[in-house]
Chains A and B, each alone.
Chain A
Amino acid sequence: MVSWLSAEGLSVRRGGRTLMGPVSFDLTGDGIAVVMGPNGAGKTTLLRALHGLERRRGDVRWGDAGLAAGRNQAFVFQSPVLMRRTVLDCIAFPLRLDGVARAEARARAEVQATRVGLRVDLGGAVEDISGGEKQKMAMARALIRDPGIMFLDEPCANLDGRSTCEIEDILTQIRDSGTRIMMSTHDIGQARRLAGEVLFLHQGKLEEQGIGDTFFDAPKSKAATAYLRGDILL
């Protein structure tokens, strides 16, 4: 099968220490690619490296050349970056960088706000909205350039069950609309609900790569087995 993303010997080093990798994998499926693993496994570092936010070693190849372009990629950070602007102008910001006129950018930002179900005063300060709403703001902002791939780093880390459900619904809608999604989580339930493919990281190394249900029902590596079983210490 043709892979849409493949990494070969990908690693990130800082100050002589290897934070993550080397890892090699091919992603082929249409579903959401989920990066799993305990704290410090290297999930964030892997996503950032793929997006080009970390200086990396090794090869990253995108099956669709269009995806390689930075403008076609969007990244939703674990804690949403809040600009000192209104909610609407935060969402519109990427278009403003592209030179889109303010009025048009705002109109398109409203469309994205609706798409992610953000029901707040869009003219209000972004810092005043709730955590779940901030996350939706960040997703609307990421979607506004209509990216080919969207990276999300633990999009539900600090959210309650209801917000988590809403975000998961939005993610499946985005996936169905044809945007690739690669996300990290250490919520096993969420990974089960969303994952098409799984990359399981442990101590910076790729312990196991699997297809959703197969991985969860019969993990092959010891680390993944213990993690899925809920062992606290791996």
Chain B
Amino acid sequence: MSDFFGGIAQAARLILTLDPDLAEITLLSLRVSLMATLIASLIGLPLGAWLAINRFPARRTVIALLNGLMGLPPVVVGLFVYVLLSRSGPLGVLGLLFTPTAMVIAQVIIITPIIASIAHQAIRELWADYHDLLISLGATRRQRLITLIVDGQRPMLTASLAGFGRGIGEVGAIMIVGGNIDHATRVLTTAISLETGKGDFEMALALGLILITLAISVNLVLHTLNRTERGSRW
């Protein structure tokens, strides 16, 4: 028990004194997950919107696939990216394995389906509301898409945040493709797993506190956005 409280106190000290190792790990975590969220949003948001308003033969299959990909086990994604990037793999020449870029790639694969799915759901509802009006007013396909994206900003932000939340807390894939190398690819989740293994609970707890704070902040923002959405204040 004293371990626990001692750990908390030490963790607080590490955070308050802006411990350099801690700061480095936290910043890399943020950098990787923000970059992954940005890229995944650029792919997932338009894809979700496009799927919501276009009818084509394979549409149902694509949506089912997307929902299926949401449940992709991160470890398997990690393995897949590892094989792709490994020296003998198809993209081995790029030398990306065990770099932050590799971690971004793995996270993009994991969170793009999440972002696309949530965006698809939201834009589909908006499209159902707006459909008759937009058709009646003679809006072009382009204008329809733009209108839905502009008025769907909030739910799409929700989708991106959900993706970020998933990315920052993910450990399996980035452990494999990043390698958890000190001062190179070590992030919050992989460091926690390492420090815990080493028995250094203070560092692990400090990292854990930061991760939890980040996760809770994201969820608070999500919650607020969702509530304002329902309360129809956009």
Question: Footprint of B on A, CB under 8 Å?
Answer: 51, 53, 70-71, 73-75, 77, 81-85, 93-94, 97, 125, 127-128
Contact = CB atoms under 8 A, between A and B. Distances in A.
Contacts of A85: 151, 234
Given A81-B130, A83-B130, A85-B151, A125 B234 contact: yes
A70 B138 contact: yes
Interface residues of B, number: 15
B132 A97 contact: no
Given A70-B138, A83-B151, A97-B138, A127 B232 contact: yes
Interface in B120-142: 126, 129-130, 132-133, 135-139
A209 to B, nearest CB: 26
B136 A97 contact: no
B133 A71 contact: no
A51 B151 contact: no
17 contacts: A53-B135, A70-B136, A73-B136, A74-B136, A75-B136, A77-B132, A81-B130, A81-B132, A82-B129, A84-B151, A84-B232, A85-B151, A97-B137, A97-B143, A125-B233, A125-B234, A127-B232
B137 A94 contact: yes
Given A83-B130, A83-B151, A125 B137 contact: no
Contacts of B130: 81, 83
B132 A84 contact: no
Contacts of A81: 129-130, 132-133
B234 A84 contact: yes
Contacts of A71: 138
A83 B133 CA distance: 10
Contacts of B126: 84
B129 A53 contact: no
B149 to A, nearest CB: 12
Interface string B215-234: 00000000000000000111
Interface of B: 126, 129-130, 132-133, 135-139, 143, 151, 232-234
B232 A128 contact: yes
A73 B233 CA distance: 31
A5 B136 CA distance: 19
Contacts of A74: 136
A192 B230 CA distance: 41
A85 B153 CA distance: 12
A125 B138 CA distance: 25
B164 to A, nearest CB: 23
A210 to B, nearest CB: 29
B139 A53 contact: no
A151 to B, nearest CB: 9
* Smallest CB-CB A-B distances: 6 pairs: A81-B133, A127-B232, A70-B138, A75-B136, A84-B151, A84-B234
Contacts of B133: 77, 81, 83
A125 B133 CA distance: 18
A127 B135 CA distance: 21
Nearest to A71: B138
Contacts of A82: 129
A15 B16 CA distance: 68
Contacts of B138: 70-71, 97
Nearest to B153: A84
A70 B132 CA distance: 13
B132 A53 contact: yes
Contacts of A51: 136
Contacts of B136: 51, 53, 70, 73-75
Nearest to B152: A84
Contacts of B132: 53, 75, 77, 81
B113 to A, nearest CB: 26
A77 B138 CA distance: 15
Contacts of B143: 97
A82 B151 CA distance: 11
A84 B143 CA distance: 16
A97 B233 CA distance: 24
Nearest to A90: B133
A68 B143 CA distance: 22
A157 B111 CA distance: 46
Could you say which of A53, A81, A93 has the most chain B C-beta atoms within 10 Å of its C-beta? A81
Contacts of A73: 136
